[in-house]
């Protein structure tokens, strides 16, 4: 177990811009909650149960951290090499599965419903990350990472280009909303859902792209680069109520590993340093003011002075 910082303010919280200071707390530090995963991903908070779920993709399991006692247990194994998770507007767990190349919903009784596993008769690649819009529609990215080898899924042939899809909440119809992002990965909406941000993880360097949401909330337009990551590797991220982006970051160096925070205009505000690369984050806790960070082998948290977008 990695020792938690005992110093206030925590020296691992780095301020690049004075606008970051109101978002952080002088008397809160990074806490290591768990060590022992092979590749941590896809954290999602369940406030009604006071627990967090996240994926350990190569170990083919979903782990559960319980807030009251700080204990960790296995929520599901096999998880079909699940990656990203979120909750729908009814509180169900929605998951991206690499092995089965599908997006699923876990019902209240624990049974699993397949929401999408093909497009125009062809199988998806390996759904990666997922968000649910306020109208109940499900948006997910579908790169090839889970079928490129046997570590995070099973090596298989790609049948479709890597795209971002939308599943209609009423009809279940699947449509392509973005086919012009190289290796689409993490995605999140702005607080008013007028913009969808998508990580382009096969760009060199990686980028976070922004799209305007139109077509009565069903289509994307105006693809543009919001953030050029340079040597960084953005993966998954979430947005706070002010519209700031809290991005999993890293590339195996002390300067890059952790979470990097940007304004809605893509300006860097600060960095939360971790001893390992961070893949994805979510907000949770009683007031959605606790940032949970799924890093390479571990799970970390930090109380912050803002809140995650509700439903995000």
Is position 235 annotated in a ligand binding site?
yes
Task: Encode pLDDT of 221-234 as tens digits.
Answer: 999 999 999 999 99
Residue 136's closest CA among 173, 162, 163? 173
Range of the domain at 244: 13-303
Residues 73-100 have a mean pLDDT of 98
For residue 129, give the CATH number of its domain: 2.120.10.30
Residues 185-205 have a mean pLDDT of 97
User: Looking at the domain assignment, is residue 5 inside a domain?
Assistant: no
What totals of helices (H) and strands (E) does the chain contain, helices first?
0, 27
6, two tokens: 């005992």
pLDDT score of 138 more than 50: yes
In this prediction, residue 36 carries a pLDDT of 98
Q: Which DSSP string corresponds to 20-64?
A: GGGGS-TT---EEEEE--SSEEEEEEETTTTEEEEEETTTTEEEE
User: Looking at the domain assignment, is residue 2 inside a domain?
Assistant: no
In this prediction, residue 7 carries a pLDDT of 85
In this prediction, residue 156 carries a pLDDT of 97
Is 311 in contact with 134 (CB distance < 8 Å)?
Answer: yes
Catalytic residues: 235
Distances (CA, A) of 251 to 111, 130, 157, 235: 38, 23, 28, 11
User: Looking at the domain assignment, is residue 211 inside a domain?
Assistant: yes
User: Looking at the domain assignment, is residue 191 inside a domain?
Assistant: yes
User: Looking at the domain assignment, is residue 311 inside a domain?
Assistant: no
Residues 4-18 have a mean pLDDT of 90
How many angstroms separate the CA atoms of 11 and 161, rounded?
43
In this prediction, residue 5 carries a pLDDT of 63
User: Looking at the domain assignment, is residue 8 inside a domain?
Assistant: no
User: How many domains in the chain?
Assistant: 1
Task: Encode pLDDT of 172-190 as tens digits.
Answer: 999 999 999 999 999 999 9
In this prediction, residue 2 carries a pLDDT of 46
pLDDT score of 3 more than 60: no
In this prediction, residue 312 carries a pLDDT of 67
Residues 141-162 have a mean pLDDT of 98
Q: Which helix (H) or strand (E) holds 271?
A: strand 268-273
Task: Encode pLDDT of 243-277 as tens digits.
Answer: 999 999 998 888 999 999 999 999 999 999 999 99
How many angstroms separate the CA atoms of 309 and 288, rounded?
8
> Mean pLDDT in the chain?
96
Is position 185 annotated in a ligand binding site?
yes
In this prediction, residue 1 carries a pLDDT of 37
Where does the pLDDT of residue 4 fall: very low under 50, low under 70, confident under 90, or very high at 90 and above?
Answer: low
User: Looking at the domain assignment, is residue 4 inside a domain?
Assistant: no
Task: Encode pLDDT of 89-102 as tens digits.
Answer: 999 999 999 999 99
In this prediction, residue 37 carries a pLDDT of 98
Q: Return the number of other C-beta atoms located less than 10 Å from residue 69's C-beta.
A: 8
Residues 185-204 have a mean pLDDT of 97
312, two tokens: 């995000």
Lowest mean pLDDT among 1-5, 135-139, 170-174, 269-273: 1-5
User: Looking at the domain assignment, is residue 154 inside a domain?
Assistant: yes
Residue 258's closest CA among 239, 244, 240, 237? 237
């Amino acid at each position: 177990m990695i020792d938690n910082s005992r110093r206030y303010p925590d020296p691992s919280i780095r301020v690049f811009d004075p606008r970051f200071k109101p978002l952080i707390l002088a008397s809160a530090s990074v806490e290591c909650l768990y060590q022992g995963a092979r590749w941590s991903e896809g954290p999602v908070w369940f406030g009604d149960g006071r627990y967090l779920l996240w994926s350990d993709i190569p170990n083919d399991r979903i782990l559960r951290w319980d807030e009251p006692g700080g204990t960790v247990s296995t929520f599901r194994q096999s998880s079909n090499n699940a990656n990203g998770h979120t909750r729908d507007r009814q509180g169900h767990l929605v998951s991206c599965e690499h092995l089965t190349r599908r997006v699923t919903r876990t019902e209240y009784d624990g049974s699993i419903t397949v929401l999408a596993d093909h497009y125009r008769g062809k199988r998806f690649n390996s759904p990666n990350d997922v968000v649910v819009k306020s109208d109940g529609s499900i948006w997910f990215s579908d790169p090839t990472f889970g079928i490129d080898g046997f570590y995070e899924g099973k090596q298989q042939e790609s049948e479709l280009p890597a795209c971002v899809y939308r599943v209609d909440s009423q009809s279940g119809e699947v449509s392509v909303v973005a086919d012009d992002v190289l290796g689409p990965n993490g995605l999140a909406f702005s607080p008013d859902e007028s913009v969808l941000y998508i990580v382009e993880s096969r760009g060199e360097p990686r980028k976070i792209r922004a799209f305007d949401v139109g077509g009565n909330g069903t289509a994307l337009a105006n693809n543009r680069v919001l953030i050029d990551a340079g040597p960084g590797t953005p993966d998954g991220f979430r947005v706070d109520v002010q519209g700031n982006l809290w991005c999993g970051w890293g590339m195996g160096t002390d300067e890059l590993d952790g979470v990097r925070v940007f304004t809605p205009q893509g300006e860097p505000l600060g960095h939360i340093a971790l001893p390992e690369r961070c893949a994805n984050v979510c907000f949770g806790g009683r007031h959605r003011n606790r940032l949970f960070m799924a890093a390479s082998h571990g799970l970390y948290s930090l109380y912050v002075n803002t809140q995650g977008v509700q439903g995000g």
